[in-house]
Amino acid sequence: MAGGKQKYSVVEAGNLGFGQIGSVFMDASTTSAVLPPLNTVFVAITFLEDTIFDATSGLLAEDSSQYINTAAAAHSKTDGNATATEGELGAIVDGSNTFPQGATIFGRWTEIDITSGMLVAYIG
């Protein structure tokens, strides 16, 4: 990437959204929540084993109304009047949800904490 004052080419800037800043590994021995570096988020999570997030703070989204998370149900409008920015009937991720080995999810998360499993989270 270009040096200096964080100037990026168009391609470099686009790559930031694909985890080009790095990644973290988590497994069941990770005893606390993992946070991305300042001014970044986790943009993708690949599950290396069946994985369960902590029920209350296991998957915290940058915007809990837009990305799946354990704090609130994203896109959960229930009155039958979905809009361009609000879907309908989204559910909260809780301790009963298992994300299967081999799956990858995409979003913008600020914290990850698991109770079981193994994953790689990509930073963007």
Nearest CA to 53 out of 108, 98, 107 is that of 98
Bridge pairing between strands 104-112 and 59-61: antiparallel
Alpha helices in 6-118 (DSSP H): 10-16
In a domain, 40, yes or no: yes
| Partners of residue 60 on adjacent β-strands | 111
Give the pLDDT of residue 73. Answer: 82
**Domain total for the chain?**
1
Percentage, residues of the chain above pLDDT 70: 74
Residue 45 domain boundaries: 22-123
SS3 content of the chain, % helix, strand, coil (to 5): 5, 35, 60
Residue 103 included in any domain: yes
The answer to whether 62 and 109 have CB atoms below 8 angstroms apart is yes
pLDDT digits (tens, 9 = 90+) for 51-104: 999 988 899 999 988 899 999 888 766 555 655 556 566 788 998 999 999 999
Predicted local distance difference test score (pLDDT) of residue 87: 58
Domain membership flag for residue 10: no
| Alpha-carbon 12 to chain mean position | 21
